[in-house]
Amino acid sequence: MTHSRSLPPRMCLPRASQPWTCRLVARTAALVLAALGLLLLAGCNQQGKPTSTTAAPKEAALTPATDPRVSAHLDTFGRTEALITSWDGLRADGRMQDARRVESQIRTEVDRQFPTFEQAAGGSMGLHAQYLSVSALGFSANPKATSILAQRLLEKDAKLQGNALISLGLRADPRTPVDALLNRTSPAMPLDVKRYAPLALAKVLEAQRAAGMPPNAGVAQNALARLGALAVDHDPIVRLHVIQALRAINSPAGYRYLAVLVGDPQMRVRWAAAGALDALGDPRGFPGVIRLLHDVAPDSKHIIRDILVSYGGRLQGRSLTAAEIDSLGTGPRAWTQWYTEWRRSRGIAPGQAIQPNGAISPGPARGTPRRPTPARGSLQPAPRPYTPSGATRGGG
């Protein structure tokens, strides 16, 4: 799948493959544009120069072949773009070992000409080179790339911000400024930004935790509030990435959002929420995962069963035996009975609420959180997550 970091696509088909109607429309449009150009030129000649209210023309996306500012770096940019395209395709095909090999080649290419990519990422070589360089810097081993990409989050171009967020997630650098990511985790942001800000936040928080730098209470609380506002976003990819960020925060307070997302209209989102509930180990979420056994296709029930096996092991403090797993199978009734027995072993009466740590609540059980309004449209293939693996960051 092509991510937002991809360069602007060529919208026109080759001439030979265009239908005659398309060619007719193109010719008509060209004539209209030519006439408008003559009228504008005549107006400018009459008035001498544009008035102060005339907007400056917006720079078109420049290609390396026509932009003199990048002609000296044409070979470097061309090789890098081809390698990134190959890497993306290999990951889409599940050929992770080959993808890691290409990733190493990209890193070598970028770091060999790092000043060139740094300059192009700032926009001095045109839009095409800027998009490419922001994507390429995600592979760099140079620590400076993180601050360069963080600066790109200040750009007005939402697609460029999206590219920078994807690259920051790919780098998974624990030194990434978390505040810059949180400021873009908002429903008010354009789609390219709010899709990838939670994903980048998840990868950076995971890297910080692995480096012994877990988020403090203030950062976690701010992140949870922002992610909660996106948990019911109409775009399913946004919701999918929100789950990854909630899992990275790993706070009991995230349960309230995961309990809603496990009933999401999109099955892929439900699976991700079920896995996050298992990682959180909150006993309150177990019934919601059991309910998924009613909803998934028969050939997918084993996925939910595996989550329940892991989840159940967390709750009872030991792994389920092979005999227990065989007896439980993929039937919701058997798993419901198992959960009822688990509650009884903890002295929890029917209808009595439990706390995140399994303690008994004095009050009655609260109702299940409401499910979000069904999202418009169908779930698109989600961008493949970027996972650090030492010096190379392939996998995921």
Judged against a pLDDT cut of 50, whether residue 143 lies above it is answered with yes
pLDDT tens digits along 231-289:
999 999 999 999 999 999 999 999 999 999 999 999 999 999 999 999 999 999 999 99
For residue 389, list its beta bridge partners: 392
Average pLDDT over residues 212-218: 88
Q: Would you say 343 and 290 are in contact if contact means Cβ atoms under 8 Å apart?
A: no
Give the contacts of 174 (CB within 8 A, at least 6 positions apart). 204, 207, 208, 210, 211, 213
Tokens, residue 324? 């227990």
pLDDT of residue 248: 95
Checking if the pLDDT of 61 tops 70, the result is no
Q: What is the mean pLDDT of residues 54-68?
A: 48
DSSP letter for 17, please.
G
- Which tens digit of pLDDT belongs to each residue from 352-387? 777 665 554 444 444 444 444 444 333 433 333 333
Confidence of residue 59 (pLDDT cuts 50, 70, 90): very low
Query: So what's the pLDDT on residue 358?
Result: 55
Percent of the chain with pLDDT over 70: 72
Stretch (H or E) spanning 11: none
Average pLDDT value for the chain:
80
Q: Helix, strand, or coil here: 72?
A: helix
Predicted TM-score (pTM) of this structure: 0.74
Q: What is the pLDDT of residue 43?
A: 43
Place 69 in a pLDDT band, splitting at 50, 70 and 90.
confident
Q: Which pLDDT belongs to residue 168?
A: 97
Percent of the chain with pLDDT over 90: 65
CA distances from 282 to 149, 250, 307 (A): 36, 11, 13
Place of tokens 């198992």: 338
**pLDDT level of residue 62 (50, 70, 90 thresholds):** very low
| Lowest mean pLDDT, pick from 53-57, 104-108, 169-173, 338-342 | 53-57
Give 74-120 pLDDT, tens digit per residue.
899 999 999 999 999 999 999 999 999 999 999 999 999 999 999 99
